Amino acid sequence: MGSSGEYGNLKSPQKESSIGNPKSFYTKAKFLATKHLLNLYKDKGFPVTILRLYQAYGPRQDINRFIPIVIDACLKNKKFDCSDGKQFRDFVHVEDVVNAILISIRNSKVKGQIINIGSGKPKKIKNIINFLVNRLNGGNPCYGKIKFRKDEILKIYPDINKSKKILGWKPIIDFKKGLTETINYYQKINY
């Protein structure tokens, strides 16, 4: 499992590449693991496929992630700090991720390949926050309280043509349906 962060500041839509400029220790480790595994594939035929995930979300996600944080604040009708919300990010439902993994395991054409796993349709962070606040009728986002990182990229999303063509995969869970399913999960477990 790779990460979209392996691309670093490469412009979106990001195409699969073994070139990147990861910024964090986490994404550098992912990037180095990708390079190592692809070298093993080239040198020894080690069967590897790198799936680079974008923002996976859905029920049972750790509460310390963007969507669960906002849902939790809305359910508790709390104020919460956030950025201006001008960033665009790509979200893919966990069921779509699992389907991509299962398909890649069974498909010999993808060995030695890097494949982006996302929706290919970036969503504005502020719009997601507003949707959740309105849907849950609670929460008070304090826009602008969290400043952008100096190296933050405002628009991150993948080109998923390769996943469609070679893997025969594309996401099928509608984003709003996935958010509703996620909301329902957190409502059941905590409230």
Domain spans of the chain, in order of start: 50-190
CATH architecture of 50-190: 3-Layer(aba) Sandwich (3.40)
18 has pLDDT over 90: no
Map tokens 């073994």 to a residue: 18
How far apart (Å, rounded) are the C-alpha atoms in residues 21 and 173? Answer: 31
pLDDT, residue 191, reads 57
For 87-145, what is each residue's pLDDT tens digit? 999 999 999 999 999 999 999 999 999 999 999 999 999 999 999 999 999 999 999 99
